[in-house]
Amino acid sequence: MTKTMQLASLCWALAAVLALIGCVNPRAVYWGSRAWQYRNPEANEPSAAAYAVQRVGAFVGAAVLCGMGFLLMHWENQSTYDAGDVKNAVDDVVAQLNQEKVLQGDILSPDYYLAVDTVMRKVTGEVLSDLSADPAGKTSDGGEKFTISSRKTGNPYCLTVTTGLSMENAPAKPMDVSLSATAHRGACR
């Protein structure tokens, strides 16, 4: 159970408690729980209007909490990527990475993780997306691999990002070089 589902369940449990409180006779609650505190309980008893406001407030609070629970569940369902959504997002990430340039040369090597993270945020439009890009090691030509998948549904893709330049054939002065990205279904090996 995800944290969002736990929060929705908590909202519904609190809504049920408030609904029960609204169903109980508030006058009986006063005489059973608070009247003993006063020397003259009849003089300190809330008015009929106060009892009505308490009851209406309990039902309104229950309705608001119930709505929040449904809103959280709706948000949970909207932010989950299924297999088709993951494929579309990976295709968009590859297309945008192929248009990116990074600084490379001399002792500088490109920061592939930063490039992938930046592009993923652009593609998903979310800071806390259901998609994750986990580093999966280096390639033989100096690039890097990332496993992109949905945290909730899986559906992994292996993203490989390179510049085509290794440290051996890097230019003497730092320069902008284009990224080259490819992806295939399945986790990186």
- Confidence at 123, pLDDT banded by 50, 70, 90: confident
Q: 123 with 133: CB under 8 angstroms?
A: no
Q: 79 with 36: CB under 8 angstroms?
A: no
Over residues 30-42, the mean pLDDT reads 91
**Amino acid 16: pLDDT:** 96
Q: 27 with 51: CB under 8 angstroms?
A: yes
Catalogue the E-assigned strands of the chain. Answer: 101-104, 131-138, 144-150, 154-162, 175-178, 180-185
pLDDT at 103 over 80: no
Q: Mean pLDDT: which of 3-7, 63-67, 167-171 is highest? A: 63-67
**Amino acid 17: pLDDT:** 95
Q: 162 with 139: CB under 8 angstroms?
A: yes
Pairing, β 101-104 against β 131-138: unpaired
**Amino acid 129: pLDDT:** 66
Distances from the Cα of 95 to the Cα of 74, 117, 142, angstroms? 30, 14, 20
State the chain's mean pLDDT as an integer.
81
pLDDT at 152 over 70: yes
